[in-house]
Amino acid sequence: MTTLQYKVAIVTGASSGIGRATAKLFAHEGARVVVAARRRSLLDELTGEIAAEGGTAVALAGDVRDEDFARTLVTEAERRYGGLDIAFNNAGMLGPMGPTPTVAIDDWRETLDANLTSAFLGAKYQLPAMVRRGGGSLIFTSTFVGYTAGFPGVAAYSASKAGLIGLTQALAVEFGTLGIRVNAILPGGTDTAMAREMNSTEEALAGVRKLHALKRIATPEEQARSVLYLASDASSFTTGTALLVDGGVSINRT
């Protein structure tokens, strides 16, 4: 039997990067997956690949900052597949880059909405569905940036992602007695579109690789395997955790 056989999962930010890799892995491991992102064409491509590999998935395009969309994702999971066991709230954005005094308040708010408020809205509807199911696993994508290391010029990103760790801990305590585990994954450098936006030259990418103890960055598939661990019964006694999957960037000094 595969790891997530008969489970139902929501994955946001599924059109690319870690979200896409995780949706495919969840489906491969037997889950029925509701995939969400803004770009419908990429979601359709993803569900087509999942179906071709023998998996089951349905796509809903929308904005995770929209409360109605958060509600609709859960409604669709319950209507189509009978419930909700796993939610990977992965969607997010980099936000404004540059000196903090130059950051416009609208850009600050947009980043917090995309990275933190969207996760709250997802959880707001996912948690009651998991209670109805008798338990579940809720996972957020945070980052080591603003947690174990600071970088200049990304204040909004750092603050919003650090906020997810506080949300993780609060929800883990609030829902632990109901059989729901809540954790955050903290990726290190990973080969995604967002990472390339943050480090747009080969020189910058080489510098990022050097920051890591492993002297390389991760593939999205490597991050997905850690998300699978948190989603599965392999992590049955793990909750409230900020799981560093960072290639040693948090401890490296060489």
Q: What is the pLDDT of residues 145-184, one digit of tens each?
A: 989 999 899 999 999 999 999 999 999 999 999 999 999 9
**What pLDDT does 76 receive?**
98
Residues of the chain with pLDDT under 70: 1, 198-200
On whether residue 251 sits in a domain, the answer given is no
| pLDDT (0 to 100) of residue 1 | 58
Q: What is the pLDDT of residue 2?
A: 77
Sequence-distant (6+) residues with CB within 8 A of 224 are 18, 21, 22, 24, 25
Q: What is the CATH number of the domain that holds 154?
A: 3.40.50.720
Q: Model pTM greater than 0.85? A: yes
The whole domain housing 59 covers 8-245
pLDDT value of residue 191: 86
Q: Output the pLDDT for position 200.
A: 65
Assess if residue 19 is contained within a domain.
yes
Residue 254 belongs to some domain of the structure: no
Domain count, the chain: 1
Which residues carry out catalysis? 157
Q: Is residue 250 part of a domain?
A: no
CA pair distance 131, 181, nearest whole angstrom: 11
Separation of alpha carbons 209 and 164, rounded Å: 25
Q: DSSP characters for the chain?
A: --TTTT-EEEEESTTSHHHHHHHHHHHHTT-EEEEEES-HHHHHHHHHHHHHTT-EEEEEE--TT-HHHHHHHHHHHHHHHS---EEEE--------S-GGG--HHHHHHHHIIIIIHHHHHHHHHHHHHHHHT-EEEEEE--SBTTTB--TT-HHHHHHHHHHHHHHHHHHHHHGGGTEEEEEEEE-SBSSHHHHHHS-SHHHHHHHHHHSTTSS-B-HHHHHHHHHHHHSGGGTT--S-EEEESTTTTT---
3-state secondary structure 80-113: HHCCCCEEEECCCCCCCCCCHHHCCHHHHHHHHH
For the beta carbon of residue 94, count every other beta carbon within 10 angstroms.
16
Q: Is residue 27 part of a domain?
A: yes
Which is nearest to 184 in space by CA: 93, 95, 101, 87?
Answer: 87
What pLDDT, on a 0 to 100 scale, did the predictor assign at position 208? 83
Residues 110-142: tens digit of each pLDDT:
999 999 999 999 999 999 999 999 999 999 999
